[in-house]
Amino acid sequence: MEQVRILVVEDEVIVARTIANQLNQLGYTVIGTASSGQIAIAKALESRPELVLMDVILKGEMDGITAASQIREQLDIPVIFLTAYGDSNTVQRAKTTQPFGYVIKPFTPKDLHIAIEMGLLKHELERDLREHRDRLATLLNSMSDAVIATNEKGIVTFVNPAAELITGWQQVDALGKDISKIFQLVDEVTETSLENPVAKVLREQQVVYLDDFTSLITKNGSRVPIGDSASPIMRQSGQINGVVVVFWDLSERRQAQLLEQALHKEREVNQLKSLFISTVSHEFRNPLSVIQSSVELIELQGENLKPEKRKTYLKRINSAVQSMKTLMEDVLFMGKSDAGKLECQPALLDLAEFCQELIAEFTTIHPRSAEIIFNCHSDRTEACMDEQLLRYIFTNLLNNAVKYSPTGGNILFDLTCDLIDGVAIFRIQDHGIGIPEADQARLFESFYRASNVQSIPGTGLGLVIVKKCVEAHQGQISIHSQAGIGSTLTITLPLNYQNRIQ
Ligand code: ATP
Ligand code: MG
């Protein structure tokens, strides 16, 4: 094993020599002796001993305590004081130089040996600790993740450069401040401020993670979307010693997500457009071919065409033209509402009267359909709504109720005006084929038709139009239906739409 090299600083030559002898006997190498502080510093600088034994009283102006502090600062060499002065004043002064030992004269070689070994060990441990700390600091400072540490009271003790960049707080300004001052979180969706994760960790004593869509409010008040985790720092005794928050900037990822969503939406809209065009063309083709074949048959039979046949063909042509007209109107309506041109022009009207007239009209056009039973549950039914849009809504709903019910069944049409909530509630109930549960969520998609209506004609645009008219009034629509039992459609519209938008 290599011998430890020691510098002895002692103003009395004989004592210095005695100590040097003792050290040699103990197996240490004495690299020299010095009688003053200046000489001690010069020798330490020149021969870099591993330890200095330092007397407190020295020759010259500089005493051992001052010399020790300079040696320690400049060279990081451990110093052990050897002195006859054990008074508290001297000990206090010596303490400021963080000595590695303090031996009171007279001492035995054994005392010296123990003090040197303890001093060397302490120095080695201190160096290891410092190296660890430096390594950790380099790691934290070069990390791309932001790190903030606090003590057990939530007071900031460390901020790495990445955290400085995101929060806008420099470490020097943040140190000593409460974490809630420099790390404020807000929910991006609800706009409410969130509990500080450090407070949560201190309370729950376990790792906590941020919810999605969390933003940090920076020093200048801007917001940065972040992801993070906060972990407790535990003492060996199991007590919490502080908290470390690790977080990272999600701005780029969030922007990429938004871009991806926008692209996805655009793709979807394009797909829907193509689907719309192909479905509409397809829907036009059916009545067109009916018209074409009927005309061909009329031409072919010419003079020989019997009057009944002619009537049948003309009826076919007429109904095909009608269905094309309805489809055309629906498509035009959709185009108008998609272009944002669907206007709600409310006017005063009496809802009970309106419903009764509409039912009467409807029954005239569909004489052999189900019976529509109207019930009004309110005395006052005046409202301010767009009559044209109301007509679209209820004609479509009645059409469906009739179309998807066996002939001759009853359809209940209820109206309630709730003056307190300021809404009119319309309910149309049939006892028809109902809507399978699996189809219910998609009924407001253009051209979507339930699996149990494939043999019944229809395009799947009616409910889409109804929904648009309801939304134009800022109202709501809900469907309650059971396959084989029947359906109830409830429409809730503000009684006085004009007041609502003011
Ligand atoms: P059209 O565009 O000619 O109205 P459609 O009736 O098929 O065609 P929607 O009115 O939008 O289209 O209705 C969508 C689907 O909802 C229907 O195809 C049907 O499956 C279902 N549906 C709507 N109302 C009822 C009802 N009262 N009873 C049973 N099914 C219904
Ligand atoms: Mg319909």
Q: What is the pLDDT of residue 1?
A: 55
In this predicted structure, which of 44-48, 228-232, 388-392, 450-454 has the lowest mean pLDDT? 228-232
Q: What is the pLDDT of residues 320-346, one digit of tens each?
A: 898 888 888 888 888 777 767 777 889
* 396 alpha carbon – ligand 2 mean position (Å): 6
* 91 alpha carbon – ligand 1 mean position (Å): 96
Q: What is the pLDDT of residues 55-111, one digit of tens each?
A: 988 888 888 889 998 998 889 899 998 887 767 777 777 777 777 888 888 889 899
Q: What is the pLDDT of residue 152?
A: 92
Q: Which ligand 1 atom minimizes the distance to the CA of 439?
A: 20
Q: What is the pLDDT of residue 103?
A: 85
Burial class (CB in 10 A: 0-12, 13-18, 19+), 215: buried
Confidence band of 501 (pLDDT split at 50, 70, 90): very low
Q: CB under 6 Å to ligand 1: residues?
A: 396, 400-401, 404, 430, 432-435, 443, 449-450, 453, 458-464, 487
502 has a pLDDT exceeding 50: no
Confidence band of 461 (pLDDT split at 50, 70, 90): confident
The percentage of residues in the chain with a pLDDT greater than 90, rounded to a whole number, is 53
The C-alpha atoms of residue 398 and residue 401 are separated, in whole angstroms, by 5
**pLDDT average, residue stretch 17-32:** 93
8 has a pLDDT exceeding 90: yes
Q: What is the pLDDT of residue 498?
A: 65
**pLDDT average, residue stretch 422-444:** 95
The full set of domains in the chain, from first to last, is 5-139 (3.40.50.2300), 143-249 (3.30.450.20), 255-338 (1.10.287.130), 343-501 (3.30.565.10)
Number of H helices, E strands in the chain: 16, 20
469 has a pLDDT exceeding 60: yes
Indicate the average pLDDT of the chain.
89
**pLDDT average, residue stretch 372-399:** 94
* 278 alpha carbon – ligand 1 mean position (Å): 20
**For atom 10 of ligand 1, which residue has the closest CA?**
462
- Count of C-beta atoms within a 10 Å radius of residue 168: 18
**For atom 5 of ligand 1, which residue has the closest CA?**
460
Q: What is the pLDDT of residues 174-226, one digit of tens each?
A: 999 999 999 999 998 888 899 999 999 999 888 888 887 889 999 999 999 88
Query: Tokens at residue 306, please?
Result: 């019997």
* 115 alpha carbon – ligand 2 mean position (Å): 99
The single-letter code of the amino acid at 265 is K
Burial class (CB in 10 A: 0-12, 13-18, 19+), 134: exposed
Q: What is the pLDDT of residue 29?
A: 94
Task: Give 160's contacts (C-beta < 8 A, 6+ positions apart).
Answer: 140, 141, 143, 146, 147, 148, 171
